[in-house]
Amino acid sequence: MSARFVPRSTFAYDRIINWFPGHMLKGMRLISERLNSVDLVVEVRDARIPLASVNPNFEKLVGRKPRLVVYNKQDLADPSTLAPVQAALARQGTPSVFTSCQTGQDVRSILKHAAELADPIPHVTLMVVGMPNVGKSSLINQLRHFGVGRGKAAATGAQPGITRTVANTVKVLEHPAVYLIDTPGVMMPHIGDPVQSVRVALTGGIRDNLAGETTLVDYLLFELNRRHLFDYTERFRLDEPTNDVHVLLDAVARRIGAILKGGELDHNQASKFLLKQFRQGKFGRMTLDDVRDADTFFDQLEKPLPPSRRVAKKLAKLAHRKEERRRQTDGEARNA
């Protein structure tokens, strides 16, 4: 069936998605203010996008403060991509752990890492940071469950941006005493690579409506096809794989009964269904980033961030005005 099918080699998308509401800017300020009272920064990332879920602003903010990188949702990521990322971070001198809040896998190792800092200091304070919807609040609840046997300390939800303020300290371990500070998910003010922003949105880090549900499903279809994961054809009763997202949405809408008045197929409901299925791992364990370049990527984090388009335009205008003034001054000097 799929022998004749040729998947797309690239995903054509050039729209810049920027999502940096006011509470994120405030959150960055509050994180900076409380950082001096913190013994360890726990930066949570998404194992499905181990590179795209890195916020370079945290690198600058955290500086030389001890840090543990936690790749959450490892149960949804391709297992073969975990070791290369962990090895690349180790070469940078950054310890890391892969966890799953669904299964509780390796969550205790975070507490163990924190407890090792308790000598000689009497207690340890952690600060949890990360981009939206990487599972920070779920991780905190798991830490409390394993550490002190208590219930939820932080609200959780499928939409990014649930936590909006820097919370008070919460105890997550009795002996030694380990306390934790939750923080809001903070997105990069500017993502230069449009496709990278789609990856972040597909995993739930950016609100679906900003990229558009159809665009996200189209990228999901692109990823399924290029990995030769064609099970969706049988599942949604397609004769063969397709590169046309509308063909897929038609099939899904029929399969789930998403039909509007007049018999029109509801692509919106079909898109929401597919996105939910992907985020629950129904299409298998997938890592969207190419981790073969992990070493190069982490090396680049030490370099200054490129300016956003808006900032770049302002800098270009200032440079142009400066050059105009220089030429005017030179002309006046020659005429004098």
Placement of tokens 């996008």 in the chain: 49
DSSP 21: -
By the 8 A CB rule, do 308 and 194 touch?
no
Residue 112 assigned ligand-binding role: no
Q: Is the peptide bond before 176 cis (omega within 30 degrees of 0)?
A: yes
Q: How far apart are CA 306 and CA 152, in angstroms?
A: 39
Residue 72 assigned ligand-binding role: yes
Residue 135 assigned ligand-binding role: yes
| Amino acid occupying residue 104 | G
Q: How far apart are CA 177 and CA 122, in angstroms?
A: 7
Residue 335 assigned ligand-binding role: no
Residue 36 assigned ligand-binding role: no
Residue 75 assigned ligand-binding role: yes
Residue 130 assigned ligand-binding role: no
Helices (H), the chain: 22-34, 56-62, 82-91, 107-115, 136-148, 194-202, 208-211, 213-226, 231-235, 245-256, 267-279, 294-300, 309-335
Q: What values do phi and psi take at 230, rounded to 5?
A: -100, 15
Residue 192 assigned ligand-binding role: no
Q: What values do phi and psi take at 298, rounded to 5?
A: -70, -30
Residue 119 assigned ligand-binding role: no
By the 8 A CB rule, do 140 and 170 touch?
yes
Residue 92 assigned ligand-binding role: no
Residue 171 assigned ligand-binding role: no
Q: Which of 250, 198, 251, 237 is nearest to 220 (CA)?
A: 198
Binding residues for GTP, as ranges, are 72-75, 133-138, 185
